Structure 1
Amino acid sequence: MTDSPASSRLALAAAGVTVVLWASAFVSIRSAGAAYSPGALALGRLLAGALVLGAVLLIRREGLPARGAYPGILISGLLWFGAYMVVLNWGEQEVDAGTAAMVVNIGPILIALLGARFLGEKLPPRLVAGMGVSFAGAVAVGLSMSGEGHASVLGVVLCLLAAIAYAGGVVAQKPALAHGSALQVTTFGCLAGTVACLPFAGQLIDEAGRAPLSATLNMVYLGVFPTALAFTTWAYALARTTAGRMGATTYAVPALVVVMAWVILGELPGLLTLAGGALCLAGVAVSRSRPKPVKATAGSADAAPARLRGRAEAELPDKGKV
């Protein structure tokens, strides 16, 4: 079934909300990550997100999703909400932000490939070309942000694992949305990730007592907005398009991070950073564009069958005559 233009616009707006909030998460992680260890930060973020999502679910009285949604919810919860957050937090302590951004941005490419393999999604030329342009932009942004001497093999491996977990979680979530609403799938996925991170509860309690208020507030912000709200708007948009196109949309995140770091942190971007951000946005535009329908003209090949049908119908005997 094809969505109406209004529904398509809502899905695009939801995707926009997601990428803006996910971009803002990088600024908050820099503050919270200085006071909280990777596992504790992930658990605190997920707890805040689960509380908000659970409250909204009760208010809306949506109840439980259908049974068919649970495999996808469980897999996406463990991979994306759980493993991805912990491994990425850990990886960013081992490598600089630029290197982490370059490696993690393999994720959208993996999403497109896994979507084609397991979901039967097509890889149209515009999507492939747009992702190539965006990935080149992400590499440019990463190179411009990379610091000297702050990278390790462990950090690169961790960021690669984060990209794989992210891609696997997205592809697993897509079929679950056929059996449950965006809110249901997000809420129970967040709960699954929270349960998986409970072994870090002791660290969270210990570190929360020593962490500055600003770090704790940033952790709560990560749970309420980039997790509870952004993951829900993501699921809403994902239910209305392919996993590959949604993955390509996240290439707008590096460009937005550059702008936010400039405005909020006063970090003036260099020319390479600006060029990379522009490439990221250009690639997203290409990947989400659709080819214009070709109009058949009187002399075109597409019009020939119509002419032949008209001629054949004219040669048929009149049904009213015996």
Structure 2
Amino acid sequence: MKPVLAAAATVVLWASAFVAIRHTGTEFSAGALSLARLLVGSVLLGAFLLVRRTEAPAVRRWPAKHDWPLLLACGLLWFGVYNLTLNEAERRLDAGTAAMLVHIAPLLIALLAGLTLGEGFPRPLVIGSLVAFAGVVVIGTSTSTGRAETWGVVLCVTAAISYAVGVVTQKPLLNRLPAAEVTWLACTIGAVVCLPFAPALLTELRTASTATIWWVVYLGAFPTALGFTTWAYALRRSTAGRMGVTVYAVPVVAILLGRLLLNETPATLAIAGGALCLVGVAISRRKDTPARVKEPAR
């Protein structure tokens, strides 16, 4: 039950990030926003780990030498490249098109996990992935302006690939290390990657409104620090493929939050696409029942 709740929390928090990115993107550039978000997330996660280790010193477990290549890949790609490319892409593409393109990532996760982590390709996962992806396409079609700038498309696809590779490199780490520690280290690595944008961040903080700055803090505290921790907790107790398909529900929740917070009314077609996403997620979570072997007649 706890992994299911953690996965649900992740979906809601990551969906809210789309709304926050759209709002903050009017006052913060992609690099400055990425750095600010990751710095807030890194500081909060570091404080949490410090308190936790003070209360329970036995919890401490530093990564071994062979863990660092995976950590660096996860931090660089999922926290660094993904944030930068997604933030920049949303300045060029409408939200529906961006969501449709980024959410090819779960299919890539299922493919990579099947090839590299030995998770295979269970029938419910394959069927659920196809159904959920169809839902994402429907959502993207219903909310798209019909004009997808080429560079924006390239950025979204890059974000999706970075996301997928990041998840697959994170999964083996969670078998050996606490979820919060993996998230903190990857987030910190991502922040270091974005440090060249520090001058831009300092400049934009002076001109940004207080409300927008609080949205940036929200991005770092909840979708990043908390959302990636709940994701890692759930991923540790599931397969990368199944967890990847679960986030197909993100566009559905993002549409609802957009209606509440940005006064955006989703089209009927978007609601139908959201229903397809949820059906696909439900199918992917089912266990594959092996075919029963007939006993010979006696």
Largest Rg, 1 or 2: 1
Query: 2:189 is aligned with what amino acid?
Result: A
Q: Gaps (5+ residues) in structure 1?
A: 1-8, 308-322
Sequence identity of aligned pairs in percent?
52
Alignment of 1:236-275 (within 5 A): 236-275=233-272
In the alignment, the residues of structure 1 paired with residue 259 and residue 171 of structure 2 have an alpha-carbon distance, to the nearest angstrom, of: 35
Once the 2 structures are TM-superposed, how far is the Cα of residue 179 of structure 1 from its aligned partner?
A: 1.8
Helix, strand or coil: the match of 1:301? coil
Say yes or no: does 1:195 pair with 2:187. Answer: no
In the alignment, the residues of structure 2 paired with residue 93 and residue 47 of structure 1 have an alpha-carbon distance, to the nearest angstrom, of: 22
Q: How much is the aligned-residue C-alpha RMSD, in angstroms?
A: 1.7
Q: What does residue 137 of structure 1 align with?
A: 135
In the alignment, the residues of structure 1 paired with residue 221 and residue 275 of structure 2 have an alpha-carbon distance, to the nearest angstrom, of: 29
Q: 2:10 aligns with which of 18, 27, 31?
A: 18
Once the 2 structures are TM-superposed, how far is the Cα of residue 195 of structure 1 from its aligned partner?
A: 0.5
Once the 2 structures are TM-superposed, how far is the Cα of residue 293 of structure 1 from its aligned partner?
A: 7.4
Q: 1:58 aligns with which of 44, 50, 53?
A: 50
Q: Gaps (5+ residues) in structure 2?
A: 54-58
User: Aligned pairs, how many?
Assistant: 292
Once the 2 structures are TM-superposed, how far is the Cα of residue 206 of structure 1 from its aligned partner?
A: 0.5
In the alignment, the residues of structure 1 paired with residue 62 and residue 109 of structure 2 have an alpha-carbon distance, to the nearest angstrom, of: 24
Q: What does residue 217 of structure 2 align with?
A: 220
Tell me if structure 1 keeps the 8 A contact 2:143–2:267: no
Alignment of 1:171-182 (within 5 A): 171-182=168-179
Cα shift readout 1:232-273 (whole Å, capped 9, x = no counterpart): 010111111111001000000011111112222222221101
Alignment of 1:266-285 (within 5 A): 266-285=263-282
Tell me if structure 2 keeps the 8 A contact 1:71–1:176: no
Q: What does residue 127 of structure 1 align with?
A: 125
Query: 1:21 is aligned with what amino acid?
Result: L
Tell me if structure 2 keeps the 8 A contact 1:69–1:178: no
Say yes or no: does 1:301 pair with 2:294. Answer: yes
Q: 1:290 aligns with which of 275, 287, 291?
A: 287
In the alignment, the residues of structure 2 paired with residue 65 and residue 281 of structure 1 have an alpha-carbon distance, to the nearest angstrom, of: 38
Tell me if structure 2 keeps the 8 A contact 1:31–1:214: no
Deviates more, 1:253-262 or 1:61-70: 61-70
Query: 1:261 is aligned with what amino acid?
Result: G
Deviates more, 1:241-250 or 1:262-271: 262-271
Once the 2 structures are TM-superposed, how far is the Cα of residue 291 of structure 1 from its aligned partner?
A: 4.0
Say yes or no: does 1:103 pair with 2:101. Answer: yes
In the alignment, the residues of structure 1 paired with residue 290 and residue 155 of structure 2 have an alpha-carbon distance, to the nearest angstrom, of: 44
In the alignment, the residues of structure 2 paired with residue 13 and residue 156 of structure 1 have an alpha-carbon distance, to the nearest angstrom, of: 33
| Superposition TM-score, scaled by structure 1 size | 0.87
Query: 1:228 is aligned with what amino acid?
Result: A
Helix, strand or coil: the match of 2:283? helix
Once the 2 structures are TM-superposed, how far is the Cα of residue 178 of structure 1 from its aligned partner?
A: 1.7
If asked which structure has higher relative contact order (CA below 8 Å, sep 6+), I would say: 2
Tell me if structure 2 keeps the 8 A contact 1:98–1:142: yes
Tell me if structure 2 keeps the 8 A contact 1:69–1:177: no
Query: 2:119 is aligned with what amino acid?
Result: E
In the alignment, the residues of structure 2 paired with residue 90 and residue 219 of structure 1 have an alpha-carbon distance, to the nearest angstrom, of: 15
Query: 1:222 is aligned with what amino acid?
Result: L
In the alignment, the residues of structure 1 paired with residue 214 and residue 63 of structure 2 have an alpha-carbon distance, to the nearest angstrom, of: 35
Cα shift readout 1:76-109 (whole Å, capped 9, x = no counterpart): 0000000000011011111111111111111000
Helix, strand or coil: the match of 1:77? helix
Query: 2:36 is aligned with what amino acid?
Result: G
Q: 2:156 aligns with which of 159, 184, 203?
A: 159
Tell me if structure 1 keeps the 8 A contact 2:107–2:129: yes
Tell me if structure 2 keeps the 8 A contact 1:103–1:163: yes
Say yes or no: does 1:45 pair with 2:42. Answer: no
In the alignment, the residues of structure 1 paired with residue 139 and residue 83 of structure 2 have an alpha-carbon distance, to the nearest angstrom, of: 22
In the alignment, the residues of structure 2 paired with residue 254 and residue 284 of structure 1 have an alpha-carbon distance, to the nearest angstrom, of: 12
Once the 2 structures are TM-superposed, how far is the Cα of residue 71 of structure 1 from its aligned partner?
A: 2.2
Tell me if structure 2 keeps the 8 A contact 1:79–1:166: yes
In the alignment, the residues of structure 1 paired with residue 275 and residue 115 of structure 2 have an alpha-carbon distance, to the nearest angstrom, of: 30
Q: What does residue 87 of structure 2 align with?
A: 89
In the alignment, the residues of structure 1 paired with residue 241 and residue 164 of structure 2 have an alpha-carbon distance, to the nearest angstrom, of: 10
Tell me if structure 1 keeps the 8 A contact 2:123–2:288: no
Query: 1:152 is aligned with what amino acid?
Result: E
Tell me if structure 1 keeps the 8 A contact 2:168–2:240: yes
Query: 2:129 is aligned with what amino acid?
Result: M
